Amino acid sequence: MAFSPLHGFILGLLLVQLAGSMAIPPSGPSNQQHEQEPSKAYIVYTDHVAKPSHFATHELWYTSMVASLSPAAANDSNRIFYLYDTVAHGFAAELTADEARRLSITPGVAGVLEDGVMHLHTTRSPSFLGLDRDLGILPDTNFGDDVIIGFVDTGIWPESPSFTDAGLAPVRRSRWNGRREDGERFNASMCNNKLVGARFFPNPMGTRATKASTFPMGNVEFQSPRDKAGHGTHVASTAAGSEVPGAELFGFATGTARGVAPRARVAMYKAVVAAVDAAVKDGVDILSISLGGYHDPDFYRHPPSVALFGAVRAGVFVACSAGNEGPMASSLGNVAPWITTVGATNLDRVFPATIVLGNGQALVGQSLYTYTANQTPMVRLLPSNCTGTDLVPDMIMGKIVVCTDVGPLTGMAVQSAGGSGVVSIATEDWGMEGLMVQAFTLPAVSLGAREAAKLDAYIRSDPFPVASLRFTCGTAVGESRAPMVASYSSRGPNHIVREVMKPDMVAPGTNILASWPDETLLSGPRRASFNILSSTSMSCPHVAGVAALLRNGHRDWTPEMIRSALLTTAATLDNQGRPIADSAAGARSGGATPMAAGAGFVRPQQAMDPGLVYDAGEKDYVELLCTMNYAAAQIGVFVPGFAGCTATLPGGGGGLNYPSFVADLSDGAGVRVLARTVTKVSEGPETFTAKVVAPDHLVEVTVTPATLEFAGHRNEMKSYSVVFRSKKRPAAGMAQQFGEIVWESDVHRVRSPVAFIWD
């Protein structure tokens, strides 16, 4: 995956217990002994109901399996290092590739997958979401009090003021079984009524490598729940941070920092599959997972999808980041239908700075550089490829270096070589509104593609181009267009089951201020208690926080009902009353499509009272997997004891009772019939009428019945069907078209985005 240059840390060995994307194909026992074959970590999925009766426990059964592989395995009691018994069933173990192959054909084993690597995917954003401290959903839900959000991430910095428990009583629910584990520079006493759980799942095979591995800026990760990378601290405080007055980063984005659900509780889990299993067993209500990196062809090959299936089945709402490979199509990393996939947008907050060219032209960009003299002298501009061979004193001394997508390390190299400044060109971001800012230690300005084109034209036209950088050292709020889908935000279609639309929605992810470990370096030698980051990693916890508010207000809602409420009430217009735009260069005309924005921008207040919701459950997802022609053994990875498919979804994958529609019209008939069932979650009798928006010249859409009448009691259900009939194929390059189906009453508006696909 591609990542924001602000936090492109590879989590690698830190996030252990995540199986990789390649299943181990069955094969017969090897006749050769591979004495030198390296061991790796594998996850072994089992059908736990198949345990032979002569084993008293599953652990004894698993131990016997591993011991049977070789005399060495029989004598090594440490080969198994995690057991799974909640969201999945099985164990993690140290195995050679040959042992993994032989174990995969052992009776009772549903699958064996190799360990892999996953990557990491405020003062303003809560108010931009419409969250008011004095009225609406925040006070109505007591700011998310007593809802527990579990974070699977790099850990947490417990000393951060965002995790103070002032005014919070102990968790009142008896079913909370969270643990607080000791480790390197972390002990249980650091937890409190805000940080109610902190656990670390080390990989015995990767311990030495993990301790030796270093991150950018020299960060070495702790063997404990303590966060050194900073990502987990930032994410957790974004979703559920307590109020912190006076938050800022070097004078920028000043204000009171608070999470979306500031009284929700935080439980940090530093691992992946093992962490999800533990979090669900502990009793979390919400899971926020800002991780990704797999583009597997099947869900059963993707251990996080398997684990999160179990989490949702247990009633836990799961939010996952969409990924940072946009604007490339089909670049999403988390597409399982049972999770909520979140893309990223900007805020209506910018940090303006100006480049004044030698011809008098002024180009507007953004910067987090603090410069007391307001402007730099007029000096020469030097286009550069910003490699090590370019960044030497003889070439750049005293010059402003112009590079593409400069990161903090490059800025430090320019400064070390005597450069007087940096201009960072963002090739994918059209305007300045969506630019990712960075706290450079030398004068620096970031430009979008539109302004960059002007700069390039000037440099080409002048044999001695010069410029001055001008800084206001300020923060502008409410003046720029927002939300706009970030260029880096990963896009659909869904690469596994394209009839299920992903991403589901978008939320603030660009230039988000949140807590940071005050020992972890930023750019250069500087440290701070807050940091500004950009990524779908930052948008995901916003939705997790909103889900925590909804869970507080609607304890009887399923995860799917929460997702539906968020999706069907999402905004499609920006703060200027125009369709939400796409900040990617060349993509702004016509607004962001659902392949970039999903249903739109999350609106917490509206989601609290959606009127109707689309629900689903294990049976629906199993029928989807059957529709995808998964074998019984493959579905058994999700549902132990699964005997075989008895039903599939009418209409194919698009027949899942999802809040959005994808009408695949690529077959010869050009007709698709999809059914949906809605559940009324509001009081009182109500009549809803269907309204359809579609490209009339290409497709005909008929909703039957066109009116839904509800008697008035909660949880009343009504079903309807939609016939999508292609009139003609669109022109080349236009094989995706979009529309919407809206159910309207006098009180509610329930909107579902629709994608029409011909190829």
Q: Can you give 129-195 as a three-state secondary structure string? A: CCCCCCCCHHHHCHHHCCCEEEEECCCECCCCHHHCCCCCCCCCCCCCCCCECCECCECHHHCCCCE
Number of domains composing the chain: 4
* Spatial separation of the C-alpha atoms in residues 455 and 461, rounded to whole Å: 10
Whether residue 23 is predicted with pLDDT greater than 80 in this model: the reply is: no
pLDDT reported for residue 406: 82
Q: Find the Cα–Cα–Cα–Cα dihedral 659, 665, 667, 673, rounded to 10°.
A: 50
Location of structure tokens 């509610």 = 748
Whether residue 213 is predicted with pLDDT greater than 60 in this model: the reply is: no
More confident residue, 665 or 203: 665
Beta strands in 352-431 (DSSP E): 352-357, 362-366, 379-383, 400-404, 421-425
Q: Which of 176-185, 437-446, 626-635 has the lowest average pLDDT?
A: 437-446
Location of structure tokens 């939010």 = 319
pLDDT reported for residue 123: 75
CATH code of the domain covering residue 32? 3.30.70.80
* Spatial separation of the C-alpha atoms in residues 374 and 380, rounded to whole Å: 18
pLDDT reported for residue 31: 38
Mean pLDDT of 335-355: 96
More confident residue, 140 or 173: 140
Do 563 and 575 contact (CB within 8 A), yes or no?
Answer: no
**Alpha-carbon distance values, 737 to 57, 664, 696, 728, 731 (Å):** 54, 11, 11, 12, 11
pLDDT reported for residue 548: 98
More confident residue, 147 or 74: 147
Same domain, 500 and 602: yes
pLDDT reported for residue 114: 77
pLDDT tens track for 665-718: 988 778 999 999 999 999 999 999 999 999 989 999 999 999 999 998 889 999
Asked if residue 704 is part of any domain, the answer here is yes
Whether residue 5 is predicted with pLDDT greater than 80 in this model: the reply is: no
pLDDT reported for residue 202: 78
pLDDT reported for residue 533: 93
pLDDT reported for residue 553: 97
Same domain, 356 and 469: yes
Same domain, 510 and 594: yes
Same domain, 497 and 596: yes
- Long-range contact pairs involving 719-723 (C-beta distance under 8 Å, separation at least 24): 719/675, 719/676, 719/677, 719/678, 720/675, 720/676, 720/678, 720/690, 721/673, 721/674, 721/675, 721/676, 722/661, 722/673, 722/674, 722/675, 722/676, 723/671, 723/672, 723/673
More confident residue, 376 or 163: 163
B/e letters for 317-337, b = 16+ CB within 10 Å, e = fewer, are bbbbbbbbbbbeebbbbbbbb
φ and ψ at 53, to 5 degrees? -65, -20
Helix (H) or strand (E) holding 278: helix 273-282
Mean pLDDT of 563-586: 94
Same domain, 672 and 559: no
**Alpha-carbon distance values, 391 to 399, 400, 416, 419, 526 (Å):** 11, 12, 9, 9, 22
pLDDT grade for 119, boundaries at 50, 70 and 90:
low
* Spatial separation of the C-alpha atoms in residues 86 and 331, rounded to whole Å: 30
Asked if residue 88 is part of any domain, the answer here is yes
pLDDT grade for 7, boundaries at 50, 70 and 90:
very low
What token pair was written down for 358? 């030698």
Cis omega (within 30 of 0) for bond into 327: yes
Same domain, 356 and 275: no
Q: Which of 168-172, 330-334, 728-732 has the lowest average pLDDT?
A: 728-732
Same domain, 565 and 492: yes
Asked if residue 241 is part of any domain, the answer here is yes
Same domain, 171 and 290: yes
Region class of 203: left (phi > 0), else alpha (psi between -120 and 50), else beta: beta
Pairing of strands 244-249, 749-757: unpaired
* Spatial separation of the C-alpha atoms in residues 530 and 518, rounded to whole Å: 8
pLDDT reported for residue 35: 47
What token pair was written down for 211? 């301790």
Mean pLDDT of 91-112: 89
DSSP state of 705: S
pLDDT reported for residue 372: 67
**568 C-beta neighbours (distance < 10 Å), count:** 27
pLDDT reported for residue 118: 60
Asked if residue 567 is part of any domain, the answer here is yes
Same domain, 494 and 421: no
* Spatial separation of the C-alpha atoms in residues 672 and 723, rounded to whole Å: 6
**315 C-beta neighbours (distance < 10 Å), count:** 12
* Spatial separation of the C-alpha atoms in residues 631 and 662, rounded to whole Å: 25
- Among residues 566, 587, 607, the one where a domain terminates is 607
Helix (H) or strand (E) holding 231: helix 231-240
Same domain, 163 and 307: yes
* Spatial separation of the C-alpha atoms in residues 700 and 693, rounded to whole Å: 10
> Side chain identity at 335, as an amino acid letter?
V
Tell me the whole-structure pTM to 2 decimals: 0.88
pLDDT tens track for 122-133: 678 999 999 999
pLDDT reported for residue 159: 97
* Spatial separation of the C-alpha atoms in residues 472 and 300, rounded to whole Å: 52
Same domain, 744 and 698: yes
Asked if residue 635 is part of any domain, the answer here is no
Share of the chain above pLDDT 90, in %: 67
Location of structure tokens 């008939």 = 669
Alpha helices in 482-637 (DSSP H): 536-553, 559-568, 594-597, 604-607, 618-627, 632-636
Which of 177, 167, 220 is CA-nearest to residue 197? 177
Pairing of strands 581-582, 484-485: parallel
Whether residue 447 is predicted with pLDDT greater than 90 in this model: the reply is: yes
Do 546 and 149 contact (CB within 8 A), yes or no?
Answer: no
pLDDT reported for residue 12: 34
**Alpha-carbon distance values, 416 to 7, 396, 398 (Å):** 22, 10, 11
pLDDT grade for 173, boundaries at 50, 70 and 90:
confident
Whether residue 583 is predicted with pLDDT greater than 50 in this model: the reply is: yes
pLDDT reported for residue 77: 65
Greatest Cα pair distance, the chain, in angstroms, is: 86
Asked if residue 54 is part of any domain, the answer here is yes
CATH code of the domain covering residue 270? 3.40.50.200
* Spatial separation of the C-alpha atoms in residues 478 and 352, rounded to whole Å: 13
For residue 40, the cross-strand partners are 95
Q: Which of 34-43, 284-293, 629-638 has the lowest average pLDDT?
A: 34-43
Share of the chain above pLDDT 70, in %: 90
More confident residue, 122 or 428: 428
The domain in which residue 588 lies consists of 122-180+194-202+232-348+482-607
pLDDT tens track for 517-549: 999 888 667 889 999 999 999 999 999 999 999
Q: Which of 322-331, 436-445, 584-593, 706-715 has the lowest average pLDDT?
A: 584-593
pLDDT grade for 145, boundaries at 50, 70 and 90:
very high
Mean pLDDT of 202-208: 55
pLDDT tens track for 241-270: 999 999 989 888 989 999 999 999 999 999
Same domain, 134 and 259: yes
CATH code of the domain covering residue 719? 2.60.40.2310
What token pair was written down for 503? 């991403």
5 half-sphere exposure, CB direction, 13 A CA radius: 19
* Spatial separation of the C-alpha atoms in residues 140 and 605, rounded to whole Å: 10
Mean pLDDT of 339-362: 96
Per-residue three-class SS string for 67-118: HCCCHHHHCCCCCEEEEEECCCEEEEEEECHHHHHHHCCCCCEEEEEEECCC
pLDDT reported for residue 382: 92
189 half-sphere exposure, CB direction, 13 A CA radius: 1
**295 C-beta neighbours (distance < 10 Å), count:** 17
Mean pLDDT of 561-589: 91
Burial class (CB in 10 A: 0-12, 13-18, 19+), 629: exposed
pLDDT, mean over the chain: 88
pLDDT tens track for 455-514: 999 999 999 999 999 997 689 998 899 999 999 999 999 999 999 999 999 999 999 999
- Among residues 115, 137, 160, the one where a domain terminates is 115
Residues identified as active-site: 153, 231, 537
Which of 447, 514, 37 is CA-nearest to residue 237? 514
pLDDT grade for 115, boundaries at 50, 70 and 90:
low
pLDDT tens track for 360-416: 999 999 999 887 667 888 999 999 988 878 899 999 999 999 999 787 788 889 999
Asked if residue 649 is part of any domain, the answer here is no
Location of structure tokens 């060349």 = 586
Whether residue 40 is predicted with pLDDT greater than 90 in this model: the reply is: no
pLDDT reported for residue 24: 38
CATH code of the domain covering residue 417? 3.50.30.30
- Among residues 607, 636, 668, the one where a domain terminates is 607
Whether residue 20 is predicted with pLDDT greater than 70 in this model: the reply is: no
Asked if residue 699 is part of any domain, the answer here is yes
